[in-house]
Amino acid sequence: MNGTNGHHAAPQTLRRADEVEDLLDAVKGLIVPYIKAADDAATQKVNGNTSVNIEGVPSNVLVDTQKPETLVEKLKVSLPEGHGLGKEGLLDAVQKVLRYSVNTWDQGFMDKLRFWSVPRLHTRLTPWQSHVYQVSPALTVIEKITARKFANLFGFTGPRAGGITCQGGSSSNLTSLVVARSALYPETKASGNGSHDFAVFTSAHGHYSVEKSALTCGLGASSVWAVPVDSAGRMIPDALRELVVRAKSEGKTPLYVNATAGTTVMGSYDPFEEISSICKEFNMWFHIDASWGGPVAFSKKQRSKLKGSHLADSLTVNPHKMMNVPVTCSFLLTPDEKVFHKANTLPAGYLFHNVDQGDDVWDLADLSLQCGRRGDSLKLALAWIYYGAGGFERQIDHAFSLAEHLATLVEKSDNFVLVSSNPPPCLQVCFYYAPNGQLATEPKTNTKRTSEMVAKLIQRGFMIDYAPGEKGSFFRVVVNCQTLKGTVDGLVKALEEVGKEVVV
C-alpha cells in the first residue's frame, strides 16, 4: 500500500532484453569492421608487408604497437566511483581495447591461441552454471554427450567413458594428478601425501604445468623428473624406465607419467604404447597431455600419431587450440568417469543431494576441482554441430598441409635452416635464419638475430614466436585452420627481407 494515497505501487518494468539488444547492436558495429579489416588485409600478406594501406598511409591491422606507459595514457581506463558512464563509456572502452589489442583475426597472427568461431557470442551471452544438474540440466546433458563422444575418438569406449571441462589445459593436467594420487593411494585424499615421497615423470619437452601441478599438490617441483627425448623430441621409453628404477632405489613412490601429444615447441608425439607398458609395470598413472595435438583424432590422415592413446588413464585436450573453438575450452577425458567421482567427491549436502543416478554422475562439479563452472562444453558442441566431424577433419588436414608447405619453403631456401622435420609432426614449424646456410658460431648471436627479426616482422603485419635451442633461439611459426597459402608465402618473403636488415 502506498502510504499517502492508499493505491498499490505500479509494478516495476524490466527492460533487460531491450538493453542487451541495444548494446549488442552497438558492439557489433565495432567488431564487424574490426574483423573485416583483417579480411581485407589478407590479400596483401603475400607481398610480405602490410604496413601501409593502398593510399600509402601507415597502417597495421595486426597491432598498433605501443610502450606500456604510452598505452596507459591512451586507454585512460576510468572506473567511476559514482554513476557509471553508461553505453557511451562502454563503447568507448570497447573501441580502445579493439584498437590497441592484437587482432587475432589477422592472417599475420601466427603465434599462440589465435582461434575464434561461431559459438563465442552465444556462450558469452549465457551466464549459466554447470555445477549441478538442477541448475543447468541442458548444459549438463550437452557436456556429458559431448565429452563421451570426444572420449570415443581417443579409444575410450567403455560404458562410463567421458570427461569434464576444466578452466584450461593446465587445470586439466592438475586435475589428472589429483585424481591419480587419490585413485592409486586412496588414503591421501584424507591424510595428504603422508609418508609417500611421490615422483612424477614428464618429457623434457613437456608443458610446465606439470611442475605447477606438483607444486599445487604439495609434492614440490623437485618431485618432477624430466625424461630425456630423442632427436625428434619424443620421450625415450628406456630413459623413463631407468629414471623410475632410480626413483624407487632412492625411496620414492613413482606416481604419474605425463606423456605428450604435440609438444609445445617441436610438436612431437610420444610413444604411448611403450610408455603405457612401463606405467603398468610400476603401477603408475598414465596421463596424456594432448592439449595441442589431440584434435588430430578427427583426421584419418593424422590420427595414427595417437596410436596407444586408448591405454591412458586420463587425457587432456583443448579444442580452443587447433579446432577453431573459442578460448577457454579444455576437456579432461577418461575411460571411466566413476574414477573421477571417487577421487574428487566430497560431502556437500547443501549442493549435492545424493540422488541415485546409477552409473552416471550428473552433478558435474562432483567430478572436478571446481564448483562454479561455465558450460564450456557448449562451445565445442555448437562448433561440432556447425562444422561436423568432417568439417573438423578438413580444417585440420588443411592446416597440416600448410605446415608442410612452410617447412618445404624453408628447406629449399639458402637462408634458413629447418629445425623441424618435414613434414612437421604438428602445426608449428621451427627454423633458424642462416644467411647462405650459415648459422653464427655463438648461440647468443643467433638468438639476437631471431628476436630482432621477430620484432621487425610486427611492423610488417606478421607476429610469430621463438624458442630456445642448442644453437640459440629459433623461429617457431604456428599455422592454423584459417591460414592461407599466400600468408605463408608472404611470411617467408618478409623474413628474407628483414633478415637482410638485421645481418649486414
Residue 488 CB partners (closer than 8 Å, separation 6+) = 402, 405, 406, 409, 479
Q: In total, how many domains does the chain have?
A: 3
d(Cα 396, Cα 356) in Å, to the nearest integer? 41
Q: Are residues 270 and 214 in the same domain?
A: yes
- In order along its 504 residues, the chain shows pLDDT tens digits of 444 455 566 777 878 888 888 888 888 888 888 888 888 888 888 888 766 554 544 467 888 877 776 777 777 776 676 676 888 887 887 788 778 777 877 888 776 655 454 445 444 544 455 555 655 566 777 788 889 999 999 999 999 999 989 989 899 999 999 999 999 999 998 888 889 999 999 999 999 899 999 999 999 999 999 999 999 999 999 999 999 999 999 999 999 999 999 999 999 999 999 999 999 999 999 999 999 999 999 999 999 999 999 999 999 999 999 998 888 899 999 999 999 888 877 544 444 455 555 567 776 667 766 766 777 887 888 788 888 899 899 999 999 999 999 999 999 999 999 999 999 999 999 999 999 999 999 999 999 999 999 999 999 999 999 999 999 999 999 999 989 999 999 999 999 999 999 986
496 located within any domain = yes
Verify cis geometry, omega within 30 degrees of 0, for the bond prior to 216: no
Question: What's the pLDDT tens digit per position in 34-87?
Answer: 888 888 888 888 888 766 554 544 467 888 877 776 777 777 776 676 676 888
CATH of the domain at 439: 3.90.1150.170
Q: Which residue is listed with cell 566511483?
A: 81
Sign of the torsion formed by the C-alpha atoms of 266, 267, 271 and 276: positive
Last residue of a domain, one of 73, 105, 137: 105
110 CB burial (10 A radius; 0-12, 13-18, 19+): buried
Q: How far is CA 113 from the centre of its chain?
A: 6
Q: Are residues 40 and 160 in the same domain?
A: no
Q: Which residue is listed with cell 498499490?
A: 8
Contact 255, 198 (CB under 8 A): yes
Q: Is 70 helix (H, G, I), strand (E, B) or coil?
A: helix
Contact 363, 122 (CB under 8 A): no
How are beta strands 474-478 and 465-467 bridged, if at all?
antiparallel
Other C-beta atoms closer than 10 Å to the C-beta of 420 total 27
Nearest to 408 by CA among 489, 464, 499: 489
Q: CA distances (Å), 251 to each of 211, 353, 443, in order?
A: 20, 42, 40
Other C-beta atoms closer than 10 Å to the C-beta of 97 total 12
Q: Are residues 48 and 83 in the same domain?
A: yes
Q: Are residues 346 and 394 in the same domain?
A: no
492 located within any domain = yes
380 located within any domain = yes
99 located within any domain = yes
CATH of the domain at 368: 3.40.640.10
Q: What is the pLDDT of residue 98?
A: 79
Q: What is the pLDDT of residue 321?
A: 92
Contact 317, 155 (CB under 8 A): no
Question: Rounded to 10 degrees, what is the CA torsion of 373, 97, 466, 431?
Answer: 110
Last residue of a domain, one of 333, 357, 384: 384
Main-chain phi, psi angles of 275, to 5 degrees? -65, -40
Q: What is the pLDDT of residue 125?
A: 43
User: What one-letter code names the amino acid at 346?
Assistant: L
SS (H, E, C) 452-471: HHHHHHHHCCCECEEECCCC
Q: Which stretch of DSSP H or E encloses residue 410?
A: helix 377-412
d(Cα 365, Cα 345) in Å, to the nearest integer? 8
Q: Are residues 91 and 222 in the same domain?
A: no
d(Cα 262, Cα 427) in Å, to the nearest integer? 9
Verify cis geometry, omega within 30 degrees of 0, for the bond prior to 326: no
Q: Are residues 278 and 375 in the same domain?
A: yes
Q: What is the pLDDT of residue 38?
A: 85
Per-position DSSP letters for 72-107, written without gaps between them: HHHH-----SSS--HHHHHHHHHHHHHHHS--TTST
Last residue of a domain, one of 352, 384, 416: 384
393 located within any domain = yes
Q: Are residues 393 and 257 in the same domain?
A: no
Can you list the alpha helix ranges (DSSP code H) found in 267-324? 272-281, 319-322
164 located within any domain = yes
Main-chain phi, psi angles of 250, to 5 degrees? -90, 10
d(Cα 51, Cα 108) in Å, to the nearest integer? 11
Contact 437, 417 (CB under 8 A): yes
d(Cα 406, Cα 450) in Å, to the nearest integer? 17
257 located within any domain = yes
Nearest to 491 by CA among 419, 429, 441: 429
Residue ranges making up the domain that contains 38: 17-105
Q: What is the pLDDT of residue 85?
A: 81
Q: CA distances (Å), 417 to each of 111, 384, 420, 433, in order?
A: 20, 39, 9, 6
Q: Which stretch of DSSP H or E encloses residue 416?
A: strand 416-418
Contact 422, 159 (CB under 8 A): no
Main-chain phi, psi angles of 120, to 5 degrees? -60, -50
Q: Are residues 205 and 234 in the same domain?
A: yes
Here the cell at position 31 is 567488431
Can you list the alpha helix ranges (DSSP code H) found in 202-306? 209-216, 237-249, 272-281
Here the cell at position 73 is 595514457
d(Cα 226, Cα 260) in Å, to the nearest integer? 13
Q: What is the pLDDT of residue 40?
A: 86
Other C-beta atoms closer than 10 Å to the C-beta of 312 total 28
Q: Are residues 101 and 250 in the same domain?
A: no
Q: What is the pLDDT of residue 255?
A: 98
111 located within any domain = no
Q: Are residues 428 and 370 in the same domain?
A: no
Nearest to 343 by CA among 221, 170, 217: 217
DSSP structural state of residue 378: H
Q: Are residues 140 and 69 in the same domain?
A: no
Q: Are residues 404 and 373 in the same domain?
A: no
d(Cα 336, Cα 340) in Å, to the nearest integer? 7
